[in-house]
Amino acid sequence: MPHHQTVSVAEFAVSGPEAGPYGITAGPDGALWFTMVHHGRIGRITTGGDSTSYVLASDSGGPTVITAGPDGALWFTEFRGHRIGRISTGGEIASYALPTAEAGPFGIAAGPDGALWFTEASAGRIGRITTEGQVTEFPLPLPGAFPSAIAAGPDDRMWFTMNQANAIGAIGHAGDVTVYPLPTPDGAPVGIARGADGAMWFVEIGAGQVGRITPDGGIDEFPLPDRAARPHAIAADGSDAGGACWFTEWGANRIGRITADGRIDEHGLPSPDSEPHGIALGPDGAMWTALEIGTIARLAAP
């Protein structure tokens, strides 16, 4: 039987249910920053639960994934607006159009090179943007791959999921891409994060599994108790010693936790059908997740 640790969950209302809180990240200011995908807003919430939000120029750009940049600001993708956005901790917003039309930027993460790297889901490319806003794009070897989430690896490469190609990719600074196919058909990987164990951890929304890939391409897969749970995003818990990863079960209204050796715990969310999307480690050591019903939840692990 899985060992169930007690996790206390607090929920903070940040918007109406129609705004769609989606991506979330820890900011450099000790607060958490999140996107409201349907309202064209970026939100900020303190660890005490006080929230504010900032309106983007377009309410239909679809701000999606957000990450802390190397410049002390937050950077985010606009999936429907085909732009990369930047917001300072004071709320000043800048926006950068992408060279490729209809690129569909989705995931974004800071790289070891002082730039931001992002996926162009609809264009099948990986993009790189400097903090001054200069964009380079790299094509992927697989057409229609739908690259989704992206994260910095332990090996100086950026690692990303290829949702429609059923593979994990790694890209070097020069744009060289290595493809690692998944053993399970139709896994449809989405979220990816670097674990404390020197591997990348990812979730397969199609197969209901958590995966682990080492820098040399070795893959392990761990089936969830509920294969229909639709795991979406994943984040490491920040502890160095045998760190675990936490992931959202978008279809099952739960948050899961997986240890480095593959043991899985699951925790139900208090509000029904809350549709958890992004998840991030907060500056307070708790895990924070964005729920599409209009709330941000804080999970205090023991």
Catalytic residues, which ones?
A: 277
Q: How far is CA 142 from CA 79, 125, 164, in A?
A: 21, 10, 10
CA distance 198 to 114: 21
CA distance 42 to 31: 13
Residue 152: name the closest of 172, 175, 129 by CA. 172
Structure tokens, 131: 């903090």
CB 281 within 8 A of CB 270: no
Q: Does 232 belong to an annotated binding site?
A: yes
Query: Which positions ≥6 away from 2 have C-beta within 8 Å?
Result: 225, 263, 264, 265, 266
Q: Does 292 belong to an annotated binding site?
A: yes
Task: Strand 147-152: give its sheet, edge to edge.
Answer: 147-152, 158-162, 167-171, 177-181
Q: Does 137 belong to an annotated binding site?
A: no
CB 116 within 8 A of CB 100: no
Query: Which positions ≥6 away from 116 have C-beta within 8 Å?
Result: 67, 69, 70, 75, 84, 108, 109, 110, 128, 129, 130, 131
Structure tokens, 107: 């995931």
> Binding site for Mg(2+), residues?
275, 292
> Binding site, residues?
232, 275, 292
> Binding site for substrate, residues?
232
